[in-house]
């Protein structure tokens, strides 16, 4: 059975991203800097996911770590118990 990430939050986190900049999304749910990686994954089997902004805009990063469109929110947090 594969390891499940911790839930980092129960709502998406809005971030104004800059075109061409890389953002490292926390995949393990343990980061204290949600939605971004702080290195907490090192004791897990998870690795952060790079998101390179194609343009400067507002985006919604997944905090529940259950999205099928990682690292972006797909609304899955609404189904969590």
pLDDT tens track for 39-59:
999 999 999 999 999 999 999
On the question of pLDDT at 81 being above 90, the answer is no
**Structural domain that includes position 26:** 13-79
Residue 64 has pLDDT above 90, yes or no: yes
Our count of domains for the chain comes to 1
**Residue 8 DSSP code:** -
> Does 20 map to a domain?
yes
Is 2 inside a domain boundary?
no
Q: Is the pLDDT of residue 65 over 60?
A: yes
* Cα 18 from Cα 46, distance rounded (Å): 26
pLDDT of residue 44: 93
Mean pLDDT, the chain, rounded, equals 96
pLDDT value of residue 45: 94
């Amino acid at each position: 059975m594969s390891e499940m990430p911790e839930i980092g939050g129960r709502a998406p986190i809005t971030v104004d991203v800059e075109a061409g900049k890389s953002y490292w999304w926390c995949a393990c749910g343990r980061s204290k800097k949600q939605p971004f990686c702080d290195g907490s994954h090192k004791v897990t089997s998870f690795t952060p996911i790079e998101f390179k902004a194609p343009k400067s805009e507002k985006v919604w990063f997944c905090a529940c770590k259950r999205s099928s469109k990682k690292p972006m929110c797909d609304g899955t947090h609404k189904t969590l118990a």
